[in-house]
Amino acid sequence: MGKKNKIVKNTIYIILILIIILSWINYRFLEDGRENQIYDHKYFQICKEYSKIDKNDIQKFEQKYIKEFDKDFKVDDNFVDYCNKITKYKTSTYSAFYLFENIMFDRFMSILFPFFVPLLILFPIIYELSKRFNSKEVKNYLLRDNYKNYIKNIFKTAYKDIWILPTILIVIFGICCLVTRNLNPEADINLMLIDSTMKTLYNNPIFYISYIIIIVLNLGIYINIALTILSKNKNFIVSLIESFLIIYILWFVSEVIIGLFFQNNLNILTNYFNLLTIYSWRNTENILLYLTTNLSWYLLTLLIALLSYKNKEKFIHMCEK
């Protein structure tokens, strides 16, 4: 009965999260979507006015919008080309790809996902395992099973909810599809809302599969770090703080130290070593390279986590303290 209640409680919790997400997406779409239209209304009015002016009045036209719109405003080939694109795509809506990317880089979400996701992942894991280690269950477990299976059980417990965040991201993208009803990023790309190099990725199933794998690997890195810390210290607060410190150090080492080394020596951008921007697909033109970075860190942290439980006597002694 307890297990059933827990499932019902988790289901309600997930439904509430999805309702909040749906409300947020609709709000962002209506706020930034300008009545579901992709083009910038202000720019459209400027282009409309430009189409009616005499060529002799271009300088006066420029001065007007330098004061009213943008100090760098200039009527050149780029401006004329953009006006033509706005006219062509003025009835188009944002694509689901752009809306998803815009949501993930929103001020709220850009802070929530990179900095608080580790907390959402690690808090329940460290809490549950530190509670088990403090209860000294390991001795009772070893009376009926071997140490290797106990460690397998620990890792299984830590990884059991790794699917939740990728599922939420898939649902967010699904809601973006329902809201925009547009899976064609052509207008986004032509109006420079999305980088043109991304066009080939959107039509490539490997891109989406790799994106989800990268998310899972990244979460796995956090879990492996927590497991490593817990093998040495069963105190909940201390383990949580230490895990976060290691994660922040890892972020720094990956992008600033290793990333700059590869950029300076092999001309590979530091973006591909940034573990903070995984929740959007900006700077992931070479998705396989980004996948390689996350896979490498995952395998390294997994190896360290496994080795940290190798010494049976040392681990049991830590639990009994």
pLDDT in tens, 28-63: 554 544 444 444 556 667 777 777 777 777 777 777
Q: Do 216 and 69 fall into the same domain? A: no
Q: Is residue 21 part of a domain?
A: no
Instruction: Report percent pLDDT > 70 for the chain.
Output: 70
Mean pLDDT, to the nearest integer, of 191-214? 72
Q: Please check whether residues 124 and 268 belong to one and the same domain.
A: yes
Which residue in 276, 279, 273, 320 sits closest to 295, CA to CA? 273
235 Cβ partners below 8 Å, 6+ apart? 130
The beta-carbon contacts of 198-204 under 8 Å, at least 24 apart in sequence, are: 198/97, 198/281, 198/285, 201/281, 201/284, 201/285, 201/287, 202/97
Q: Which of 167, 170, 162, 165 is nearest to 298 (CA)?
A: 162
| SS3 of residue 18 by DSSP | helix
Residue 1 resides in a domain: no
- Residue 255 is part of which domain span? 95-320
Q: Are 103 and 179 members of one domain?
A: yes
Rg of the chain over Cα atoms, rounded to whole angstroms, equals: 25
CA distances from 88 to 82, 83, 188, 200, 290 (A): 10, 9, 12, 22, 35
Q: What percent of the chain has pLDDT over 90?
A: 15
Residue 85 and residue 99 in one domain: no
Domain boundary among 89, 106, 126: 89
- Which amino acid would we find at residue 304? I
Please give the tally of structural domains in the chain.
2
Residue with the larger pLDDT of the pair 245 and 171: 245
Which whole number is the average pLDDT over 177-182? 78
Q: In terms of C-beta distances under 8 Å and separation of at least 24 residues, what long-range contacts does 298-306 make, across chains too?
A: 298/217, 298/218, 298/220, 298/221, 298/224, 301/220, 301/221, 301/224, 301/225, 301/228, 302/220, 302/224, 304/224, 304/228, 305/155, 305/224, 305/225, 305/227, 305/228, 305/231
Predicted pLDDT of residue 224: 96
Residue 170 and residue 218 in one domain: yes
Least confident of 25-29, 81-85, 88-92, 282-286: 25-29
109 and 132 in one domain? yes
Task: Single out the residue in 74, 89, 104 at which a domain terminates.
Answer: 89
Same domain, 119 and 237: yes
Average pLDDT across the chain, whole number: 76
Q: How far is CA 136 from CA 20, 133, 142, 148, 306, in A?
A: 40, 5, 11, 17, 20
What local confidence, expressed as pLDDT, does residue 84 receive? 74
- Picking from 89, 109, 126, the residue at the C-terminal end of a domain is 89
CB 272 within 8 A of CB 290: yes
Q: Which residue has the tokens 């062509």?
A: 88
Confidence of residue 2 (pLDDT cuts 50, 70, 90): very low
Burial bucket for residue 299 (CB in 10 Å: 0-12, 13-18, 19+): middle
Instruction: Average the pLDDT over each of 55-59, 107-111, 248-252 and give the range with the smallest value.
Output: 107-111
Q: 3-state SS of the chain: helix, strand, coil percent to 5? A: 75, 0, 25
**Rounded CA gap, 15 and 244, in Å?**
28
**Nearest to 112, CA basis, from 253, 287, 279, 313:** 279
- 242, 193 Cβ separation under 8 angstroms: no
Q: Which range, 33-47, 244-258, 275-289, has the best average confidence (pLDDT)?
A: 244-258
Residue 237 lies in a domain: yes
